[in-house]
Amino acid sequence: MTLKRFSKDYKNYGDWLKAQPRTSEYAKRVIRFHERFPTLNLNELRNTRLKDHNLSTTSWKILKAPQKRDRNLSLQILRLMRKGVPFSKAIEQTGANKKNTIINLGKYLYKSKGKWTVTVLDRIESEMMFYDRDEGLISIVTTRSKDRSLIAEYFNAVNKALKSGDTKCLKKFDNAIVIDADGKEHYFVTDLERLYEILDAQEEPEFFELYV
């Protein structure tokens, strides 16, 4: 694929960058945006706004199926990077598209000293399975990384309790609450018998192996 000309005076971004010291605020902005959107030309970079290329604040419910898949892959990359995996390696491990990941993570992915970095927390909506005290196994849309981590930790504890019969690992979830994207409160199931009932009610019971 042939790349479009970067500007009237410069064939590509590299020529523009080397033409003179790029230290002005305008130039720094162009450089920052080029790192995120390397296929845009100079005029497009001048006029682009981050919010026009950002799906991180978009409600889960209005995303199309391919966009939901991209968001889930992006959240995997976010989790890997928070564990110290470099961005390029995380992209390689997940098979995600770099451009889609940048768009999906928005402000939660940024460059610091030339390296891609992620924030410690985020408020990206995501659908997750949940053992609800009143409704059993349901799916809910979470609104922040703290809840995703808590649910992942919970499912790991559930797996452990079901295999060992020891419910000590579930005690910390007795009074824990997750509030979904609609503002509804959800309480964790911590009673072992109730967990077995939920599993028995499923046509194909499964264990969830999640990682915080």
20 against 77, higher pLDDT: 77
Query: Would you state the pLDDT for residue 96?
Result: 94
Query: Would you state the pLDDT for residue 93?
Result: 95
Average pLDDT over residues 83-106: 94
Residue 2 has pLDDT above 80, yes or no: no
Whether 150 and 176 have beta carbons less than 8 Å apart is answered as: yes
36-45, 112-121, 146-155: which has the minimum mean pLDDT? 36-45
Question: How is the chain classified by DSSP, letter by letter?
Answer: -PPPPS-SS-SSHHHHHHHS---SHHHHHHHHHHHH-TT--HHHHHH--GGGG--TTS-GGGS-HHHHHHHHHHHHHHHHHHTT--HHHHHHHHT--HHHHHHHHGGGEEEETTEEEE-S-----EEEEEEETTTEEEEEEE-SHHHHHHHHHHHHHHHHHHHH---GGGGGGTT-EEE-TTS-EEEB---HHHHHHHHHHSSS--------
pLDDT band of 149, cuts 50, 70, 90: very high
34 against 77, higher pLDDT: 77
What's the chain's average pLDDT? 89
Query: Would you state the pLDDT for residue 209?
Result: 42
Q: Pick the closest to residue 6 from 50, 30, 16, 202 (CA basis).
A: 16
Token pair, residue 139, equals 């799916």
Whether 101 and 69 have beta carbons less than 8 Å apart is answered as: no
Read off φ and ψ for residue 186, nearest 5 degrees.
-130, 130
Whether 131 and 158 have beta carbons less than 8 Å apart is answered as: yes
Average pLDDT over residues 200-210: 58
pLDDT tens sequence across 15-71: 999 988 898 988 888 887 777 777 788 888 887 776 666 889 999 999 999 999 999
Query: Would you state the pLDDT for residue 136?
Result: 93
Query: Would you state the pLDDT for residue 207?
Result: 46
Query: Would you state the pLDDT for residue 58?
Result: 92
The model carries a pTM of 0.75
Residue 13 has pLDDT above 60, yes or no: yes
Query: Would you state the pLDDT for residue 78?
Result: 96
pLDDT band of 205, cuts 50, 70, 90: very low
Query: Would you state the pLDDT for residue 134?
Result: 92
Residue 186 has pLDDT above 70, yes or no: yes
